[in-house]
């Protein structure tokens, strides 16, 4: 390779200089590290900093990769946070040293500090990443897929043996090294050391479309990597990738409304050779529930290497699917004018257990010496007959201003913060205006829709599990729930999307601000008819017409009020609730039934 430039590594400069310069012509900083590593091209950035292609003058200008520690702290500040980030960066370097012993993982060449900045230098892998390879050369046939899968499973066998989870397997992070004719797994920048008490600072939790549902909620295990590898394999096999068309996400091999991989059907329709054995292996790796996947890479290898004439029987989990549902994009973006957007996420039809089990209610009432948890009984089965779209975030101050021309918020911190201090009636006026503007049918969610969307398939107190922390939601951290710990009490709202989303991709369903539901208040579910339970998209009438339901808890509440099942009531004029109340909208489309019919 021949290089004709030298890039300054100073974070606030990054000027391109002539290759033979020793110092940056703009800021005067030295252009080499340790008098040997010269950056020649910016490659990208992640949670811990930036990566550059470089050359090493001590080894005859051998290409290498420099990682510069420049952490994205997500708005956090303070020396303690910075030191934690440094510790994680150092941990990554030690981790890479061990992982680099495998021939299909880049080797760690150096780790050092210079001018108060930390650096990692890694082996540069020359070749094409698999996304570029498929786009330029076409999809992989089954024989090549089997070779690829076996190769990467052996890499994961080694990685998991080091108690490391990669967390971001995708075609872009696998390079085909032409010289050695092998696949190399790169970018361990978001990997997780199993058993560590540290939390990654500023890293993403994988890539949507490849990361499994539990990873989107912040939980990973070894099977999460197996899911991502299978998702990658499907893309290589079919040559089909999710793409945005007119602002809508479309996918030929993944049924977005039903959360189901359909690559087998696609292959059969297009006369692409795919053995039943390989299809079963991939489907098991892609199971929604981690417990239904293979337990380890070794197990998948064993099945993959089984004699084709005597295929091993593989049990794949059944995924309930409403085949009569119309094909719907997984999301859409509404333009509210003046550059303000409203992001909506598809919530598929399904069913769930609404409320809290009797023994859990008894335990809560006894522990807190109150009886208001009885509002959550009895736990009962509810059907959500029709898919609907729900706001990815709480309605923001910027969105409210764009639609209503005012901002009623007490916590007036910016356009990307949730609008607060809104009554149920205020929300109806907002919805009326947005419906006029968009000619769509927006409304508040029914109480059943809200809980179904919040749970996103979970049965625990929170969509994170049976405990919650202030790293996961904005609530009064002076209190804890279950076996959790106390944390931060921020005393103000946080920008929308500041914490992890649930499996449906919804943010801030726990804490930050209470959220209005359409339903009138009921003291419990005792009087709920079977007819209403079988139509969770509808509200149900009540004698308490002036009382409406709030869900999700707020920044000012203890976590017990932020649980998925907790119910609270407020006058629809908002005489109580005040600054702690916001809203989230759903969109049901012009074909949806009248919201108050069929009760």
Give the active site residues: 168
CA dist list (Å): 181 to 14, 104, 156, 564: 35, 11, 18, 51
CA nearest 12: which of 117, 122, 120?
Answer: 117
Separation CA 156–CA 467 (nearest Å)? 30
Question: 562 with 586: CB under 8 angstroms?
Answer: no
Q: How many residues does the chain have?
A: 599
Joined together, the tokens standing for residue 327 give 């094909």
Cis bond before residue 378 (omega within 30° of 0): yes
Separation CA 469–CA 270 (nearest Å)? 48
Question: 6 with 13: CB under 8 angstroms?
Answer: no
Separation CA 58–CA 35 (nearest Å)? 9
CA angle 220, 222, 225 (to 5 degrees): 80
Strand-pair category, 164-165 with 340-347: unpaired
Q: Tokens 């489309």 — which residue?
A: 589
CA nearest 142: which of 238, 260, 262?
Answer: 238
Give the H/E segment covering residue 7.
Answer: strand 5-7
CA dist list (Å): 227 to 216, 218, 426, 487: 13, 15, 44, 33
Q: How far is CA 130 from the centre of its chain?
A: 23
Q: Tell me the Ramachandran region of residue 28: left when phi exceeds 0, alpha when psi lies from -120 to 50, beta otherwise.
A: left
Separation CA 256–CA 259 (nearest Å)? 5
For helices 222-238 and 142-161, give the axis angle rounded to 10 degrees. 160
Separation CA 319–CA 32 (nearest Å)? 55
35: how many CB neighbours lie within 10 A of its CB? 10
Residue 108 phi/psi, 5-degree rounding, is -85, 125
Separation CA 476–CA 240 (nearest Å)? 46
Strand-pair category, 49-56 with 117-123: unpaired
Question: 390 with 416: CB under 8 angstroms?
Answer: no
CA nearest 450: which of 378, 406, 502, 396?
Answer: 502
Joined together, the tokens standing for residue 538 give 């509808």
Separation CA 205–CA 107 (nearest Å)? 24
Question: 483 with 476: CB under 8 angstroms?
Answer: no
């Amino acid at each position: 390779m021949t290089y004709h430039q030298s890039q300054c590594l100073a974070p606030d400069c990054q000027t391109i200089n002539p290759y033979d310069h020793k110092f940056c012509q703009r800021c005067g900083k030295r252009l080499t590290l340790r008098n040997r590593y010269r950056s020649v091209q910016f490659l990208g950035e992640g949670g811990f900093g930036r990566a550059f292609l470089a050359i090493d003058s001590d080894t005859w200008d051998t290409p290498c990769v420099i990682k510069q520690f420049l952490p994205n702290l997500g708005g956090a500040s303070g020396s303690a946070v910075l030191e934690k980030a440094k510790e994680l960066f150092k941990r990554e370097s030690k981790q890479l040293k061990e992982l680099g012993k495998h021939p299909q993982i880049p080797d760690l060449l150096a780790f050092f500090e210079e001018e108060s900045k930390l650096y990692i230098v890694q082996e540069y892998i020359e070749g094409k990443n698999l996304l570029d390879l498929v786009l330029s050369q076409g999809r992989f046939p089954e024989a090549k897929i089997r070779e690829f899968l076996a190769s990467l499973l052996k890499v994961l066998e080694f990685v998991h043996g080091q108690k490391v989870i990669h967390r971001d397997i995708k075609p872009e992070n696998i390079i085909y090294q032409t010289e050695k004719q092998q696949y190399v797994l790169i970018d361990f920048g978001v990997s997780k050391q199993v058993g560590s008490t540290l939390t990654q600072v500023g890293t993403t939790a994988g890539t949507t479309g490849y990361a499994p549902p539990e990873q989107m909620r912040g939980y990973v295990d070894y099977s999460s990597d197996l899911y991502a590898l299978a998702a990658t394999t499907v893309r290589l096999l079919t040559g089909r990738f999710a793409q945005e068309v007119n602002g809508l996400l479309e996918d030929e091999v993944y049924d977005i409304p039903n959360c189901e991989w359909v690559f087998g059907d696609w292959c059969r329709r297009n006369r692409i050779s795919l053995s039943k054995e390989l299809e079963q292996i991939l489907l098991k790796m892609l199971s929604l529930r981690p417990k239904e996947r293979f337990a380890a890479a070794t197990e998948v290898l064993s099945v993959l290497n089984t004699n084709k004439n005597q295929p091993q029987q593989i049990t794949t989990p059944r995924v309930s699917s409403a085949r009569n549902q119309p094909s719907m994009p997984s999301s859409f973006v509404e333009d509210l004018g003046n550059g303000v957007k409203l992001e909506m996420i598809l919530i598929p039809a399904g069913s769930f257990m609404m409320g809290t089990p009797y023994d859990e209610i008894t335990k809560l009432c006894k522990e807190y010496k109150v009886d208001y948890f009885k509002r959550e009984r009895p736990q009962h089965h509810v059907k959500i007959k029709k898919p609907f779209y729900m706001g990815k975030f709480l309605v923001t101050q910027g969105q409210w201003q764009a639609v209503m021309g005012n901002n009623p918020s007490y916590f007036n911190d910016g356009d990307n913060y949730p609008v607060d201090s809104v009554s149920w009636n205020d929300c109806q006026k907002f919805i009326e205006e947005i419906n006029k503007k968009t000619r769509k049918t927006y409304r508040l969610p029914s109480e059943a829709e809200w809980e179904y969307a919040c749970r996103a398939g979970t049965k625990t107190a929170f969509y994170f599990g049976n405990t919650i922390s202030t790293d996961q939601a904005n609530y009064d951290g002076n209190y804890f729930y279950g076996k959790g710990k106390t944390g931060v009490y921020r005393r103000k709202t946080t920008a929308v999307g500041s914490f992890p989303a649930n499996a449906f991709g919804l943010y801030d369903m726990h804490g930050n601000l209470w959220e209005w539901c359409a339903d009138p208040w009921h003291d419990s579910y005792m009087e709920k008819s079977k007819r209403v339970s079988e139509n969770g998209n509808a509200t149900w009438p009540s004698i308490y017409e002036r009382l409406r339901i709030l869900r999700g808890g707020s920044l000012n509440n203890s976590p017990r009020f932020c649980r998925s099942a907790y119910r609270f009531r407020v006058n629809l004029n908002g005489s109580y609730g005040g600054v702690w109340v916001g809203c989230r909208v759903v969109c049901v489309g012009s074909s949806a039934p009248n919201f108050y019919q069929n009760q």
